[in-house]
Structure 1
């Protein structure tokens, strides 16, 4: 009997520890005025926004020495780089030694019960932003979160300052010619601005340089329509509180975007057809919400948002109420249509065990069920969803995976 009791205690303890590693739907992301920052670099945003961390990190002798050395290098670059873009980038980016040294210092500062330990328990784990590291020892999780943010900043500088190829060059490339004298002048001014104001923490000049480089390239897509919960999705969120989920077979009907290739076309014929297919399912009572997913993607640097244009079409042409439409205006390809939908379902408090429905044309529908999961695994490092039953040639089920909350370090337009 005592042995059974012991096993029960161990089981419950393990269940409790596992629950602590899981993200929480009630967790509120700490936001800044610039959504590009907190969506790409969440650990560094916490360091910056939580007063106890700003105080601790700004007075740490090791980290302050790294900051001082970085400041010297940036000032030297401003004086000497002239039109050499690579020279500026080299001065601003985190070196391998800096990333390793800062990681080691953060590890030494960490204890389970101090502010760094509480940061992991109260923010990093429940946020899900570093979900792929959740089973690491907490000290290692802190190091890996730092390394991810540092590499994400370096990646943004590499693409939008140095002109390196992004994952999808046709839609996400730099807006400037790197040998253009005007671009060098803008980059020098950006480097100088990165040292101004209150940018005194060890990471702030480099982070601000990266964020401003995205801004110069008109690549602040990650901030589109944010904060969505207080704007474009407010009506749906208010409706969420009234939903009786038992009345619906599915939580949402997801429409993956289909961007036009013509510059002046707001909504493609494919987008219109997908909206009509989804509206038909909505009117049958299959789900209380339609999720329209797609950012400003096609053609290169288009001003039209797939999600926004589909929402307009659903409301104006198909008479779907705004309270039934959830916008997801950031996905840049099908992998993140599913991932970002899963994120919103979780963040908005929908039942995580209830299937969603994907509604699209036949070719894409079969692509989503048969081919896309392995592409997601290759590109994202995990499966953001699990396919359920095929319902028809244009509809299929999917179940969300909370690993979808993981920030993608090499997609600054849709992290």
Structure 2
């Protein structure tokens, strides 16, 4: 939503000329300048100046609600963008004005979370793979944080949320944590051949929409594709050659080991093409998932966005232990971590294959996973 605040001309004008929002921007600017002058080596001091307080979040939400009408730029934002995107699907049953406020609250908490982990060193959901890269007691890090706070005031626009958002984005950049944007725009690059093939696919010929292959990251730094990844690709290739589905979705990001440069999805795609002779037009890369929960969620997102039939079952194809984990344990873990079930189980076909049906609530943004929101 905040990107839309920046990019939709009428909406940007409305927000930038509103007196209340201008005052919030001025106040935030003053806090940041004060922090740069006085915080010295206190990292938390910089973070506090940039993050939104609960009171600020509430005040901004109230102001958005007050400005909202059905047919003004905020109303058009909700109607034409927020609802169709599905990115705030968990608020879909709310009144539109309430959806706007809840979307703002979610995005504000997302900014705070990213600053908390990648500036203050707070513990992320998965510390082993997602933690901060810096030593908080290192004076160099304090100097970088101070400079980053100052840079956060130099955005092109003067919108109320921009200093905090820029600071959060700079924190991700300094930590070399741009995974959420890996291979984007995928529809014009790594997935273009498959997207062109989707347009020509006769879905009635296939019992399944896709064969989903969840990644398995190696633990050794110089290993591009793990033995587990190779085996999963071979299992999927057998099913593909049987003609059960027209596409293989390889899912997995740059996860194991910590800060690896190898993408599970990219390496699996390479293996499928070069070793197993699967055509590129049959492979869809999903290079952002960091856990099995998001293998299925992100698969649903791509299928929905690429115009594939989400009511047709998919086939999860992986080693026995993970296959049973997907059917037996993962749904409740998804509910706990994501807030909803991104899929429901169909039939089990074998120890390594099971059916799944995807849920388009999967389009919902996850505010506390900045590397794969």
Q: What TM-score does the superposition give when structure 2 sets the normalisation length?
A: 0.99
Distance 2:140 2:11 in 1: 38
Q: Give a deviation string over 1:279-325, Cα, whole Å, max 9, x none.
A: 00000001000000000000000000000000000000000010000
2:221 to 263, 281, 298: 263
Which secondary structure state, in structure 1, belongs to the residue aligned with residue 41 of structure 2?
coil
CA distance in 2: counterparts of 1:95 and 1:234, whole angstroms:
43
Matched, 1:210 2:168: yes
1:153-168 correspondence runs (5 A): 153-168=111-126
Distance of 1:51 and 1:189 partners within structure 2: 30
> Do structure 1's residue 341 and structure 2's residue 299 form an aligned pair?
yes
Distance in 1 of aligned mates of 2:8 and 2:341: 32
The residue that corresponds to 1:44 in the other structure is 2
1:238 aligned to which of 196, 212, 232: 196
Q: For residue 54 of structure 1, report the CA deviation from its aligned partner.
A: 1.1
Give, in angstroms, the shift of residue 217 of structure 1. Answer: 0.1
The whole-number CA distance in structure 1 between the counterparts of 2:329 and 2:42 is 43
2:95 is matched with 137
> Do the aligned residues in 2 keep the contact of 1:331 with 1:340 (CA within 8 Å)?
yes
* Residues 138-168 of structure 1, C-alpha deviations (whole Å, 9 max, x = no match): 1110000000000000000000000000000
1:287 equivalent in structure 2: 245
Distance 1:339 1:197 in 2: 33
Deviation, structure 1 residue 113: 2.0
Partner SS, residue 291 of structure 1: strand
Matches within 5 A, 1:176-255: 176-255=134-213
Whole-Å separation in 1 of the counterparts to 2:32 and 2:155: 15
Task: Tell me, yes or no, if the aligned pair for 2:155 and 2:163 is still in contact at 8 Å.
Answer: no
Residue 51 of structure 1: how far off its partner (Å)? 0.5
Unaligned ranges ≥5, structure 1: 1-42
- Give 2:357's aligned residue: 399
Q: Is contact 2:155–2:162 with CA below 8 Å preserved after alignment? A: no
Equivalent position of 1:296 in the other structure: 254
Q: Confirm or deny: 8 A CA contact 2:111 2:165 kept in the other structure.
A: yes
Is residue 63 of structure 1 aligned with residue 21 of structure 2?
yes
Runs of 4+ with >6 A deviation: none
Give aligned pairs, total.
Answer: 373
User: Deviations along 1:358-406, whole A, 9 cap, x unmatched?
Assistant: 0001111111011100000000000000111111110011111011000
Shift of 1:197: 3.8
RMSD: 0.6
Aligned 8 A contact 1:199 1:205 in 2 = no
Question: In 2, are the aligned partners of 1:278 and 1:290 still within 8 Å (CA)?
Answer: yes
Report the alpha carbon displacement of residue 199 of structure 1 after superposing the two structures with TM. Answer: 3.7
Q: State the match for 1:382 in structure 2.
A: 340
Q: Does residue 100 of the first structure (1) align with residue 71 of the second (2)?
A: no
Are 1:85 and 2:43 matched, yes or no? yes
Task: Give the conservation status (yes or no) of the 8 Å contact 1:289–1:324.
Answer: yes
1:195–1:205 Cα contact (<8 Å) kept: yes
TM-score (norm 1): 0.89
